[in-house]
A and B are shown apart, each in its own frame.
Chain A
């Protein structure tokens, strides 16, 4: 048998949901490895190896060919624009990238002029969005707790991922405009896709079927 397909997964909730899909297609994480501190988790049966990494690094591993495929949110893909195949929308991990600010903040212009400051982790996506709308902004790249930025006066608006909206609401922020909806995607290394075509075609078909069953089951 050929070597297992190596799948990069983003640590956290999306990884749990991805592993549930793999379990549904008969490839759960090998129980012997589940609670270990191993860097690479084999699947029972040896068809896959799962590589847990930070979500921003999934595409890096896949683009370089170190992982054959990966699971990552569309939001992260659009931000980094890695050169990979995107054959499948897996349906889970739904969230949206949105412009938000404290309730009552003027948008999309500040009264009396001035360039609005926008704090975000998603600088490229924010740049493209505001450029497309013809709005001139100053972008501030920060790496966490984005919702604090307007409260502390670092920015007028923020661009961030919104899942349930609870974090925003807790900080008195509201969504001003949605930029794009995002779900988890299967991404595939271009070279691996050609060199192991049958393996990838089977993976894509199996995951598509499992995702469809999960969606039908109200998942």
Chain B
């Protein structure tokens, strides 16, 4: 008889039992109750897709974290790393003829490679929604309101939504080579004022652009920050970003507004965002537990040019939060 033990699960995967399952299902039930009431229909995209579904637009960060394998015909396949990419592909193919707007919801796992030895989860539960065919600020607010609604339904009180619009930043990086743009994106993401100042000098940014870059880390706060940002907006695209954020602000209720921080330096999202983008932060969790935004160009890649906006929340983080509170 062999004395070898059966190996435990690979790093980053895990068994979920009793309470851990119960809390995840509770989060998902709260989510679908809300989504169903708003007319969102659940979809289940496949667990694996051709890898280009995720590499085309989501950006190098996600592309480097795919869990891939070679399919029988030799094509590269990846485990679902992002629901939005998969649903965009689904809408542009299976749902190509469906009338707008489409309201779709989902809950399930995504799979992402993590650095070796750190032991971080490589499979995560997410839930979220996509609103397709609606370019309006009302659609942006509908999605923000859903994210807020889930947290409220779970009685999470202390949370903030960090909201920006990528069109404010894009013109500041226009015309730079890839390495220079990446260096500035990183500095913006870290709110590293010293690196922004030296980067703007090194890349010979025009005075107005340099000023906006250096001010970006400070362009965060309540509604008044949008007025300050407007004075720094460089051109039509950046002005549209401010106009959109002001329109969103006007549509929010005072209670919803108390959970929103405007951050013109918000640049964390995946590469396909074209308008508003946001992150969700909850007290007691050191990182974002949700993200979303507008991705008007993504469906066009599959030949179905429709505006879209959506969001995802990390089901595991919310379930662990409930566990931490003994709920």
Enumerate chain A interface residues (CB-CB to B < 8 A).
Answer: 63-66, 83-89, 188-195, 197, 201
Contacts and interface: CB of A to CB of B under 8 A. Distances in A.
Given A85-B191, A194-B261, A65 B220 contact: no
B192 A194 contact: no
A197 B281 contact: no
15 contacts: A63-B286, A65-B285, A66-B286, A87-B190, A87-B217, A88-B193, A89-B194, A190-B286, A190-B288, A191-B282, A191-B283, A191-B287, A193-B191, A194-B279, A195-B283
B281 A191 contact: yes
Contact of B281 (A63, A84, A195): A195
B274 interface: no
A63 B285 CA distance: 10
A192 B284 CA distance: 9
A85 B288 CA distance: 13
Nearest to B265: A85
Contacts of B162: 194
Name the prevailing secondary structure of the B interface residues: mixed
Nearest to A183: B194
B224 interface: no
Interface in B188-207: 190-195
Contact of A194 (B160, B190, B194, B284): B160
A87 B193 contact: yes
Interface string B254-288: 00000001010000000000000001011111111
Contact of B286 (A87, A89, A191, A201): A191
Contacts of A88: 193-194
Interface string B155-167: 0001110100000
Contacts of A87: 190-193, 217
B194 to A, nearest CB: 4
Contact of B160 (A84, A195, A201): A195
Nearest to B283: A195
A91 to B, nearest CB: 10
Contacts of B261: 194, 197
B65 to A, nearest CB: 14
B220 A197 contact: yes
A85 B162 CA distance: 14
A193 B217 CA distance: 12
A190 B281 contact: yes
Contacts of A201: 221
Contacts of A197: 160, 220-221, 261
Interface in B169-198: 190-195
A195 B260 CA distance: 10
Contacts of B160: 194-195, 197
B289 to A, nearest CB: 9
A192 B286 contact: yes
Given A194-B162, A194-B261, A86 B191 contact: yes
User: Could you say which of A84, A189, A195 has the most chain B C-beta atoms within 10 Å of its C-beta?
Assistant: A195
A85 B217 CA distance: 10
The 9 closest A-B pairs by CB, nearest first: A65-B286, A89-B194, A86-B192, A191-B281, A86-B190, A194-B160, A194-B281, A85-B191, A87-B191
Contacts of B217: 87
B288 A191 contact: yes
Contact of A65 (B192, B193, B263, B287): B287
A64 to B, nearest CB: 5
User: Could you say which of A85, A190, A201 has the most chain B C-beta atoms within 10 Å of its C-beta?
Assistant: A190
A213 B281 CA distance: 35
A66 B159 CA distance: 17
Nearest to A88: B193
A63 B192 CA distance: 16
A81 B67 CA distance: 23
Contacts of A189: 286
B287 A85 contact: no
Given A193-B191, A195-B158, 14 more contacts: A65-B284, A65-B285, A65-B286, A83-B287, A87-B192, A189-B286, A190-B287, A190-B288, A191-B281, A191-B283, A194-B162, A194-B261, A194-B281, A197-B261
User: Could you say which of A63, A87, A189 has the most chain B C-beta atoms within 10 Å of its C-beta?
Assistant: A87
Contacts of A86: 190-192, 195
Nearest to B194: A89
A9 B81 CA distance: 37
Nearest to A63: B286
A103 to B, nearest CB: 33
A85 B187 CA distance: 9
A89 B263 CA distance: 21
A74 B43 CA distance: 46
Contacts of B193: 87-88
Contacts of B221: 197, 201
Nearest to A77: B190
Contacts of B263: 194
